[in-house]
Amino acid sequence: MNIAIIGATGMVGRTMLQVLEERGIEIENLYPVASKTSLGTKVAYRGTLYDVCLLEDAVEKDVDYALFSAGGSVSVEWAPKFAAKGIVVIDNSSAWRMDDNCPLVVPQINLDSIGPDNKIIANPNCSTIQLVMALAPLHKAFGIKRLVVSTYQSITGTGKAAVEQMEQERRNGESHEMVYAYPIDKNCIPHCDEFLDNGYTKEEMKLVHETRKILGVPDLPVTATAVRIPVVGGHSESINVAFENEFNMADITSLLQRTEGVDVEDDIANNLYPMPINAQGKDTVMVGRIRRDESQPNTLNMWVVADNLRKGAATNAVEILEQLTKK
């Protein structure tokens, strides 16, 4: 198997390599791709060093799969060029997620949406992945009527520069290189991505549109608020979900416990609940604080946490790759 990693020197790209190595995936030829500024850099995989190359070089190689994590503009331009060569693209950007011809895939939920002719497969937004992982089994059992989600997102979702800003603020009280409009240390900023005309941000609307597509409910009522907080371990979400049908709490817990890739951590007597500090480095989606919403019928509250660089990005892409190779 020959694989290209586009954006191999970025946070998600390096995590993809780490996950591939952890899972013992045999790669005959690896092509780590980055920008010209990274030429001369070497990337390690399973004890071997590989030279970083450019997109125009990688697309001419005998590549089977290309894992993209270099931003939407790169994916828009280059994913079709790789696909035209017969290379299967698994794209981590937002470029192809809402394209009707591209499946938006979380393998545990909708792997069957990938057809034999799909050469570009979209990896969902990090916040969406952990959200639908917790919701999909409950939707199948009880039918979601309305969804309200608030996210508390790690700065790693913004990238290395955001981590550097927070670290500088913690050392010096301020940062001279501001990724955010305000200090992030000792702060939370209700502003993830760009604002749109409707007053929501792009990140919030990704949660709306992507959740509908993955669950197969185009008109599902969803509203979201996305907040950036000064943590690095993962994203957290407060979820309030109303169902069409009545449920009992034992069934909710049982369904989540039986869901592949989900860990229930919900023992309030012993202060056990998901936290980003415990999610870092893990591939599972952690669910806790599960409780009935007493303000209206058939409604549930949950707290969901996952490492946004792993299951929220790199691990989900690698899991897609693994399932495709099994097929």
Residues 156 and 179 in one domain: yes
Q: What is the residue-wise DSSP string for 148-208?
A: EEEEEE-GGGT-HHHHHHHHHHHHHSS-SS-SSSS--TT--BS--S-B-TTS-BHHHHHHH
Directed axis angle between helix 11-22 and helix 315-326, to 10°? 50
pLDDT single digits (tens) 61-91: 999 999 999 999 999 999 999 999 999 999 9
Are 283 and 322 members of one domain?
no
Please tell me whether residues 175 and 204 are part of one structural domain.
yes
Give the CATH number of the domain where residue 18 resides.
Answer: 3.40.50.720
CATH code, domain carrying 250 = 3.30.360.10
Same domain? 191 vs 271: yes
Q: pLDDT confidence of 40, banded at 50, 70, 90?
A: confident
Number of domains in the chain: 2
Question: Lowest-confidence range among 41-45, 123-127, 194-198?
Answer: 41-45
* Chain segment 292-302, per-residue pLDDT in tens: 999 999 999 99
Based on the domain organization, do 145 and 290 belong to the same domain?
yes
Tell me, yes or no, whether 116 and 230 share the same domain.
no
The boundaries of the domain holding residue 108 are 2-123+313-326
Domain match, 251 and 203 both: yes
Alpha helices in 41-159 (DSSP H): 55-58, 72-84, 107-110, 126-142
What confidence tens digit (pLDDT) does each residue in 183-196 have?
A: 999 999 999 999 99
Question: What residues act catalytically?
Answer: 126, 235
pTM: 0.96
Give the three-class secondary structure for 250.
helix
Nearest to 123 by CA among 140, 137, 107, 139: 107
| 79 shares a domain with 32 | yes
Residue 327: predicted pLDDT: 75
180 and 74 together in one domain: no
The reply to whether 224 and 109 lie within a common domain is no
pLDDT score of 33:
97
